[in-house]
Structure 1
Amino acid sequence: MAKPIKSKNILYSFNFYAGSHHEKLMSAIADAIAEMLPIFITECSLTYEGGNGAIDYDYAVKWFGYLRRQKLGYTVLNLSNRKMSYSLIKASTGENKHLSDDDLTDNGPEEFKSLHYYVNMAVLSFGIVFVFFMMALIYTIFSKRKCWTYYQFIRKIKKRELGDVEIHHVKYAYVKRILVMALMLITIIYLTWRITFSINKDHGPIPIICNIILLLVEILGFIESCVLYFNILNIKDHTLPLIDDHEYPDVDIFIATYNEPEELLRKTINGCKHLQYPDKSKVHVWVCDDKRRGNIKELAKNINVGYFDRPDNKGAKAGNLNCAMARTSAPYIVTLDADMIVRSEFLLKTIPYFVYVEKCNTKLPEDQQRHLGLLQTPQCFYDPDVFQYNLYSETTLTNEQDFFYRMIEVSKTSTNSVIYGGSNTILSRKALDDIGGFYTKSITEDFATGLLIESKGYLSLAISEPLASGMTPNNFDDHIKQRTRWGRGVINTARDMKLLWRWDIHFSQKLSYLSSAVYWYSPIKNLIYILSPLCFAVFRIPVFKCNWLEIGVFWLPMFILQYLCLTFVGSRMISLKWSNVYEICVMPFLLMPVVMESFGISKSKFKVTDKSSNKSESQKRSIKMIPFIILFILSIYGIVRVLTVVNLTNMLCMVVILFWLCVNLYTIIMVIFLISGREKDEENDEFARSTVVVRTCEIIKVQKGDGMEKNATTSVLTEHILKIFINDREFLRIGDIANVKIQTDKYKAVLNCIVTSVRSISGKYLIIMGILEYDDEEEYLQILFDRIPTLPQTLQTDFFRFVLFRNLVYRVIRLFSYFYIEKDIIHTSKKEIPDLDSDMV
């Protein structure tokens, strides 16, 4: 090699014995590598030259460490059971014996001695899983002896034939259990490999530190997922009990308000006034105004509901509710935010649970009685959140909070740890009295109040059916403020209430609440997940060591199962793609508040989330984009650099790094789009003109001024416009005035409208009408709001590239001020409608 042959297709053979060949020969091979000579180690051993003598462990470590760093292939002398020092197999081993690690000599690199480590790790992992399974089984057997959840209480009543309420398992429950058990097993195997074999000790302390940090985050994530899936797999379908009309009790409804607009409160009160109840005199609606506004007091008087105010704002929202409690007496209390409009069936689908539990208690000894303390219904929303709207996904994406309220909250019933969400909730006055009212020492009074109620032994229940809907934060800035308040409040409450050391709650309750608190540290976790591939791709820090086989055996199955579990077990309300966007978009802005709150630097002042549409984000967008633009640049650089070092020997490893970088890059791009916002398109965007948009297909009647009447089909209903389909192109023209009669099972409204546009779509005519006057505005508002919002309730199929492409296209269109492709075909003049082919909107 000192005198290389000047010819192509030459491979140089190199031999060494660790006991005989030291720095001089290592220097020679280093020089050859520097000259870019292709080298393969055809013979090597840990012994002295000749094959006998002691093994030189010190130089063996140096040699094989050097070979790994330089990625040089080698063959080790000698795969035999000869009585020589260089033999890899002990002389006592029979020729027909199946080899194990015990049959190997001390000669040979560490990799060869670990031929069976995959099998050994699998056995070890199965052992760990078995231990966990036995612990869970023992825990389940002993916990079932105590009646501490709603499910256990109902099952106990059913077993004693004291009640007739049925409890059903959710659909595909056993398939989900098998899928989750497979994920847990594969993840334990992966973590076992990570702990035992993936720590890179060959490149100094920095890779080791980075590896350990990433490993700790992965372990924490595994524990979180165990708690999440354990609860989800125990979801039950709790049938609504049947009770007699005279058994419905008095109910106080508290509408907490501070600075919300009068028009918004009018809709909320209107929803309460239309609640169905056997005896409506038992429903008491109270507006709890913490800003002492004269116009709100007058509004309550005109609509004939109660009004409370107080001289100060001590205790913020919790203090406001406590003040209302002191002035009322109904056994059950409903708390509503000022924007939450209840469906008419709200009380009929919630109060029977409380009444049924109390009826069952009359048949039990006092020491076995349990009382239902709170029932949480989902916080649903009739306007798109910032993710749906800003990312042009209001027809494919669920609301960001749907997975929490309709899946996680419902699952927490299994551990009696349902989180009180502050609104759309029914609480027992007795439970509130037992804890001294709503908790006032936290900015998340709802979280603390629910914890205290459950710690007193009260049952909690969450149902998945949306029974009220409200407004989400209107812009990204308000979304960040809301999440910051929630995160700081939950961490503050967990610390001040000594959650970890409380002995008045069950272990599963404690674990569930701790999981809720730990969730708010996800900014730290996500920062590590984003920086880890960048450490290797940009800063050349090998965070952990692995080969292509380890990637395929340990990481790939775990990733596939994670994706399947989150999609299938999560009932299509969440996906890895959107979960990443949700969490990473708040990462830079929650990081410091969460850390500060952890060290007791609290922000105790309560500030109501602004849900008005008057505040502009434009002045802050650029600043908020800075950390993501930096990550975008680093990700692009990292991808380019990885592409330059890919070769056949490291192909799979590099592909995984590239995949990780590309997923992060996709998320970063989507976050940048999210922060950049979406310009309001008054012409084609219904949400630009109305907070609620009902997409429906119902038969209505349209009557012109001359008395002529025709049937039509609704397409879109809002507070200010209608979109309807009609077959007769001659019936309505732009500028015509007509009455639209809308009738549902519960409501009837007549709207006086003017035609503003007529468009041809697929052989029919889309009529856009502006509402001039209502014959009964309250009835029409109920037609809009007394239903499950027509925004997506489950994730629609929307691949990565489609979402990204759609956002790119719309933003390019916005850049050139070309906002629509619809085509008006009828003008204001009364001309004959041309015979046009149908156009797509």
Structure 2
Amino acid sequence: MPFNKELSISSRISYLVSHSYWWSFARRLIFTISPILFALFNVRIAVCGFWDLLLFWGPSHLFYSLSMRSLSSATRNQRWSQIIDTILAPFMILPVLLESIGLKQMKFKVTNKDSEEDTVFQQILFSLPHLFLLFLSIAALLKFTMGKYGSELFYGSIIIFWLVYNVINLLYAIFFLLGRKLYRKSERIAANEIVVLSIQGKSIKGRTLNLSEGGLLLELNQAEYIPNDYAVPLKIENARYCAEFEGTIQYVKESSESWLYGIQISSINEENKRQYSQLIYDRMHSLPVKLDVWMTAFDDMMNNLSKRIEKQRPDMRKLPRVTLNKLVEFEDGTQGTIKDFNYEYARISGLKDHETFKILTLRLDDNFFQINFEPVLEKKINKNKGRLYQIQNYKELSESPLFMKELKHWINEQKLSTQ
């Protein structure tokens, strides 16, 4: 191809440069193996002194860095380019070699779309070449530095730096090949859009914090009762797009001054799906657009390790649990403290032993409405935390504007008492 007479000189040069890229993976493997052979097996790949090495390596490193800064985007730098080459190197050398001598792969392999994640066996299998090179690099580093002091370490600093550099790249490669636990199927995009939920004839208005193809994160100013046992209608719109669909509550958690509801889309037709996709993607994405120049390789490694060691606890609560600490007197004269409340259940403390087994009734707003508490059988009752009660008439309460007003008053009292 580069000798085709129909190509211009610049096209031939461009072709040769593009072709040489595929051989960079072989160069990366040689770069990784060379210090191992010298430090572990006393095999010298290059015979040169310090100044000779500096003469050939220095300009190459300088111009490579300058070209990366001028030609690459803000999400790519020299270090990450070398990490990517390290990841691909063991798997690219043989195919590139076979293609170069005319042996082509005739069958196109399609990625299996049914499998969401590689199995642990597949992940370990793909990382075996890098694990082997990492083991050899660490062994070479230990052998080379053992028993050396002072000037010996100084004159061997190039080999030590070389091995440490390769160890870091190999660790990155192994982290990549081992993958990470996926908690969602699609990426979330930050979006601030108006949402209206329709529940039993009542409209609840809120705003989205982010959108994804599978659902959204809804922010409400107060703890609203949204049933989690069936899908609720939602409507999202802005000046350009409008989508209507049904969704189910997956989790609820309290933020500093608001409540967050994770909603999964359960039903949406084709037209609204197109509109919803426009709502997601017709905006500037919220993914990183540049590398943090102050983030070192050590910082990245520690952050990666801590995330892998940290045990993720998914949000399982599907109703908003509101802390009240409200002292009340029930219909029969019994007094207790409603510790917390989530519309369907409440925890009440301060009751005597014989009072914890009876149904309690609380009348509010001059007996206009009442709350009926039925004790839930628990294996172990913590007297400090109180006993768990099920609210028998929670559906009526959730539809009552008077009760919602009273509940908001209780919440404000609790906030003021903790300030």
TM-score > 0.5 by shorter chain: yes
Q: Which has the larger radius of gyration?
A: 1
| CA contact 2:194–2:238 (8 Å) conserved in 1 | no
Which of 506, 510, 524 does residue 8 from structure 2 map onto?
Answer: 506
Deviation at 1:576, TM superposition (A): 2.4
Aligned residue number for residue 22 of structure 2: 520
3-state SS, counterpart of residue 693 of structure 1 = coil
Change (3 A) 1:559 1:616: closer
| CA contact 2:251–2:316 (8 Å) conserved in 1 | no
- Unmatched tracts of structure 2, length 5 or more: 322-341, 347-406
User: For residue 17 of structure 2, what is the amino acid of its counterpart?
Assistant: S
1:536 equivalent to 2:38? Answer yes
1:603 equivalent to 2:105? Answer yes
3-state SS, counterpart of residue 514 of structure 1 = helix
Deviation at 1:759, TM superposition (A): 0.7
Change (3 A) 1:743 1:536: same
Which of 194, 219, 240 does residue 700 from structure 1 map onto?
Answer: 194
| CA contact 2:145–2:153 (8 Å) conserved in 1 | no
Aligned residue number for residue 79 of structure 1: none
Aligned residue number for residue 820 of structure 1: 313
1:829 equivalent to 2:322? Answer no
| CA contact 1:723–1:769 (8 Å) conserved in 2 | yes
Task: Give me the whole-angstrom Cα distance separating, in 1, the residues matched to 2:62 and 2:145.
Answer: 24
1:670 equivalent to 2:185? Answer no
Deviations 1:752-799 (A, max 9, x none): 223232112233221111223336233223333445654434334543
Task: Give me the whole-angstrom Cα distance separating, in 1, the residues matched to 2:290 and 2:142.
Answer: 37
1:728 equivalent to 2:222? Answer yes
Deviations 1:419-468 (A, max 9, x none): xxxxxxxxxxxxxxxxxxxxxxxxxxxxxxxxxxxxxxxxxxxxxxxxxx
Aligned residue number for residue 140 of structure 1: none
Please identify which structure carries the higher strand content: 2
Which of 123, 127, 142 does residue 621 from structure 1 map onto?
Answer: 123
User: For residue 189 of structure 2, what is the amino acid of its counterpart?
Assistant: R
Task: Give me the whole-angstrom Cα distance separating, in 1, the residues matched to 2:104 and 2:187.
Answer: 39
3-state SS, counterpart of residue 766 of structure 1 = strand
User: For residue 819 of structure 1, what is the amino acid of its counterpart?
Assistant: Q
Task: Give me the whole-angstrom Cα distance separating, in 1, the residues matched to 2:137 and 2:345.
Answer: 59
Aligned residue number for residue 240 of structure 2: 746
3-state SS, counterpart of residue 156 of structure 2 = helix
Task: Give me the whole-angstrom Cα distance separating, in 2, the residues matched to 1:701 and 1:791.
Answer: 23
Task: Give me the whole-angstrom Cα distance separating, in 1, the residues matched to 2:206 and 2:292.
Answer: 28
1:770 equivalent to 2:264? Answer yes
| CA contact 2:252–2:315 (8 Å) conserved in 1 | no
User: For residue 163 of structure 2, what is the amino acid of its counterpart?
Assistant: L
3-state SS, counterpart of residue 266 of structure 2 = strand
In percent, how many aligned pairs have the same letter?
24
- TM-score, reference length from structure 1: 0.35
Query: For residues 84-163 of structure 1, what are the structure 2 equivalents within 5 Å?
Result: none
| CA contact 1:646–1:654 (8 Å) conserved in 2 | no
| CA contact 1:734–1:758 (8 Å) conserved in 2 | no
| CA contact 1:737–1:753 (8 Å) conserved in 2 | yes
User: For residue 175 of structure 2, what is the amino acid of its counterpart?
Assistant: F
Task: Give me the whole-angstrom Cα distance separating, in 1, the residues matched to 2:20 and 2:55.
Answer: 30
Deviations 1:75-130 (A, max 9, x none): xxxxxxxxxxxxxxxxxxxxxxxxxxxxxxxxxxxxxxxxxxxxxxxxxxxxxxxx
Deviations 1:454-502 (A, max 9, x none): xxxxxxxxxxxxxxxxxxxxxxxxxxxxxxxxxxxxxxxxxxxxx1211
Deviation at 1:568, TM superposition (A): 5.4
User: For residue 298 of structure 2, what is the amino acid of its counterpart?
Assistant: R
Deviations 1:721-765 (A, max 9, x none): 211222222465655864332224432112222323211223322
Query: For residues 206-605 of structure 1, what are the structure 2 equivalents within 5 Å?
Result: 499-542=1-44, 543-547=46-50, 555=57, 559=61, 562-563=64-65, 565-567=67-69, 569-605=71-107
Aligned residue number for residue 811 of structure 1: 308
Change (3 A) 1:597 1:568: closer
Task: Give me the whole-angstrom Cα distance separating, in 2, the residues matched to 1:603 and 1:550.
Answer: 42
Deviation at 1:642, TM superposition (A): 2.9
| CA contact 1:734–1:756 (8 Å) conserved in 2 | yes
Task: Give me the whole-angstrom Cα distance separating, in 2, the residues matched to 1:619 and 1:705.
Answer: 47
Q: CA RMSD in A?
A: 3.4
Task: Give me the whole-angstrom Cα distance separating, in 2, the residues matched to 1:721 and 1:700.
Answer: 15
1:784 equivalent to 2:286? Answer no
| CA contact 2:134–2:167 (8 Å) conserved in 1 | yes
3-state SS, counterpart of residue 146 of structure 2 = helix
Task: Give me the whole-angstrom Cα distance separating, in 1, the residues matched to 2:251 and 2:98.
Answer: 55
Aligned length: 326
Task: Give me the whole-angstrom Cα distance separating, in 1, the residues matched to 2:98 and 2:215.
Answer: 48
Aligned residue number for residue 756 of structure 1: 250
User: For residue 804 of structure 1, what is the amino acid of its counterpart?
Assistant: M
User: For residue 587 of structure 1, what is the amino acid of its counterpart?
Assistant: A
Task: Give me the whole-angstrom Cα distance separating, in 1, the residues matched to 2:84 and 2:251.
Answer: 38
Aligned residue number for residue 208 of structure 2: 714
| CA contact 1:753–1:770 (8 Å) conserved in 2 | yes
User: For residue 622 of structure 1, what is the amino acid of its counterpart?
Assistant: I
Deviations 1:150-198 (A, max 9, x none): xxxxxxxxxxxxxxxxxxxxxxxxxxxxxxxxxxxxxxxxxxxxxxxxx
Deviation at 1:556, TM superposition (A): 5.8
Task: Give me the whole-angstrom Cα distance separating, in 2, the residues matched to 1:828 and 1:635.
Answer: 60
Task: Give me the whole-angstrom Cα distance separating, in 2, the residues matched to 1:610 and 1:517.
Answer: 29
Change (3 A) 1:609 1:720: closer
- Unmatched tracts of structure 1, length 5 or more: 1-498, 837-841
Task: Give me the whole-angstrom Cα distance separating, in 1, the residues matched to 2:52 and 2:203.
Answer: 73
Task: Give me the whole-angstrom Cα distance separating, in 2, the residues matched to 1:642 and 1:754.
Answer: 60
Deviations 1:784-841 (A, max 9, x none): 344565443433454312332233223334xxxx3237684636825479869xxxxx
1:794 equivalent to 2:307? Answer no
Which of 174, 179, 184 does residue 686 from structure 1 map onto?
Answer: 184
Change (3 A) 1:502 1:828: farther
Aligned residue number for residue 139 of structure 2: 637
| CA contact 1:734–1:828 (8 Å) conserved in 2 | no
Task: Give me the whole-angstrom Cα distance separating, in 2, the residues matched to 1:794 and 1:579.
Answer: 14
Change (3 A) 1:565 1:653: farther
Change (3 A) 1:804 1:616: same
Aligned residue number for residue 8 of structure 1: none
Task: Give me the whole-angstrom Cα distance separating, in 1, the residues matched to 2:253 and 2:164.
Answer: 42
User: For residue 728 of structure 1, what is the amino acid of its counterpart?
Assistant: Q
Structure 1 range deviating more: 782-791 or 746-755: 782-791
| CA contact 1:701–1:712 (8 Å) conserved in 2 | yes
3-state SS, counterpart of residue 577 of structure 1 = helix
Deviations 1:198-224 (A, max 9, x none): xxxxxxxxxxxxxxxxxxxxxxxxxxx
Deviation at 1:564, TM superposition (A): 5.6
| CA contact 1:703–1:709 (8 Å) conserved in 2 | yes
Deviation at 1:615, TM superposition (A): 7.4
| CA contact 1:756–1:769 (8 Å) conserved in 2 | yes
Task: Give me the whole-angstrom Cα distance separating, in 2, the residues matched to 1:821 and 1:606.
Answer: 39
